[in-house]
Amino acid sequence: MCDHCGCSTPSSPHSHSHAHERAHTHSQDRGHHHHHDRDEERRTIALHQSLMAKNDRLAEQNRGFFKGRGTLALNIVSSPGSGKTAILEATLRALQDDYKMATIVGDLATDNDAARLRATGAPSIQITTGTVCHLDAHMIQHAIEDLGRAPLDLLFIENVGNLVCPAGFDLGEDVRVVVTSVTEGEDKPQKYPSIFQNADIVLVNKIDLAEAVGYDRKRALEILRNAAPGALILELSARTGAGLDAWYNLLRARIRAKVGTEARH
Amino acid sequence: MHEFGIAESLLNTALETAARAEASKIEQVNLRIGLLAGVVEEALTFAFEALSEDTPAQGARLVIEPIPVTCYCETCAAFFEPPRGSYRCPTCQAPSRSVKSGRELQLISIEVS
């Protein structure tokens, strides 16, 4: 990983020679002028800059890249175990005759998810983040390079399972999808307002288990509509296939909209 | 723990700025962080302390001004502070997607000596 990435293990340079240096204050230092009088004056240096500026800049580059290639990019976030990979497996299989698709998968460790997705026949790049709890625009830039120059209609970016950290990192995607599942309870959006607030699409997975876990559908939808204003909410089950057609149709419509827009330019 | 990455970016900017200004020590770092930015103050402070050890920023105070979430309601042409977990306008109940503040993660200034 190159040094542009704000996420790699911090390489804090460490010097262990302080004691040694301190022991050597010889007479030749006496003539040396220490600017202490001036240095102790306290000054304020104004900066007014976003700490996300670098990520946002790289995200814009990614967005330009996707635009240039006519690729619809989706950033898919959820808590661990809500079914992101299962939904993507089904999607890659269902749409493989219609579109060129690829996935980028972020996980702390293992490439199990990428292997599952690769089994569908679509190229899949695994980003193993180590201790880092989210993907950032820079990691995506490298993953795009790894995907090569082949045509690409749809790129699914499966973020690290985490409802907190990915919220602040724009990857350059067109669509942000939050996946939640009925087994997580109804109030996840209230607990993680940041990630739901700017969701474009919310997929409520495992709807086949709703009854078994006593899922209060009415309350859940009310909470979701409040926490994710403007988001399209789809209930589905990656296991039984219920509701998946609506998801596929939504993807088709978004691809048409994107390609149509690019063509006019 | 994305606070570590943020603290690293913060520290690098502060150190570069201080070096350019020929300052020998960073005394204080002033930040504005929105309540929707998803940053935990304690975690950021902890990370900054750990990373700044043996640098001119060691011992610097992080002063964080929290920025409340403000939404804009187009129907009412008014700003409002939404309660946690809902983005409905308190006047007309329409949901607002337009968050005007609350996602900031800004380095305002550093104080050096």
Per-residue pLDDT averaged across B43-71, rounded?
Answer: 96
Residue indicated by tokens 């007309």: B92
Q: Does A168 touch chain B (CB under 8 A)?
A: yes
Provide the pLDDT confidence category of residue A38 given band limits of 50, 70 and 90. low
- DSSP at A258: H
Residues A193-197: what's their mean pLDDT? 91
From the number of C-beta atoms within 10 Å of its C-beta (0-12, 13-18, 19+), residue A152 rates as buried
A43 in a domain, yes or no? no
Q: CB distance A43–B113 less than 8 Å?
A: yes
Q: How far is A77 from chain B (nearest CA, A)?
A: 15
Is A132 domain-assigned?
Answer: yes
Which range, of A5-14, A144-153, A232-241, B4-13, averages the lowest pLDDT?
A5-14
Q: Which helix (H) or strand (E) element contains residue A43?
A: strand A43-50
Q: Considering the domain boundaries, does residue A21 fall inside one?
A: no
pLDDT more than 90, % of chain B:
78
Domains of chain B: 3-68+102-112 (3.30.2320.50)
Q: Find, in chain A, the residue whose alpha carbon is nearest to that of B19.
A: A45
Among A39-48, B53-62, B74-83, where is mean pLDDT lowest?
Answer: A39-48
| In chain A, % of residues over pLDDT 70 | 83
Number of domains in chain A: 1
The verdict on a CB contact (< 8 Å) between B99 and A51 is no
The CATH number of whichever domain residue A167 belongs to comes to 3.40.50.300
Pairing of strands B26-34, B61-67: parallel
Cα–Cα distance for residue pair A180/A194, rounded to 1 Å: 14
Could you tell me what percentage of chain A is helix, strand and coil, using 3-state DSSP and rounding each to the nearest 5? Answer: 40, 20, 40
What is the mean pLDDT of the segment spanning B57-61? 97
Q: Looking at residue A159, what is its pLDDT?
A: 96
Host domain of residue A109: 53-258
Amino acid A26 reads: H
A162 belongs to a structural domain: yes
- A111's CB contacts (< 8 A; 6+ apart) are A105, A126, A128
Residue A173, in any domain of the structure? yes
Asked if the structure places residue A14 within a domain, the reply is no
B36: which 2 tokens?
């929707």
User: Mean pLDDT over residues A1-20, rounded?
Assistant: 39
Confidence bin at A24 (pLDDT 50/70/90): very low
A9: in domain: no
Could you tell me if A58 and A137 are in contact, meaning their C-beta atoms sit under 8 angstroms apart? yes
Residues A82-107: pLDDT tens digits? 999 999 999 999 999 999 999 999 99
Biggest CA pair distance of chain A: 83
pLDDT at residue A11 greater than cutoff 60: no
| Of the partner residues B1, B87, B113, the one whose CB lies closest to the CB of residue A229 | B87
Instruction: Give chain A's mean pLDDT.
Output: 86
pLDDT band at B2 (very low <50, low <70, confident <90, very high): confident
Instruction: Assess if residue A2 is contained within a domain.
Output: no
* Inter-chain touch B84–A193, beta carbons under 8 Å: yes
Structure tokens at B65: 């001004």
B9-55 pLDDT, tens digit each: 999 999 999 999 999 999 999 999 999 888 989 999 999 999 999 99
pLDDT at A178: 98
Work out the minimum CA distance from A49 to partner chain B, whole angstroms: 5
Chain-centre distance for alpha carbon A257: 23
Q: How confident is the model at residue A142 (pLDDT cuts 50, 70, 90)?
A: very high
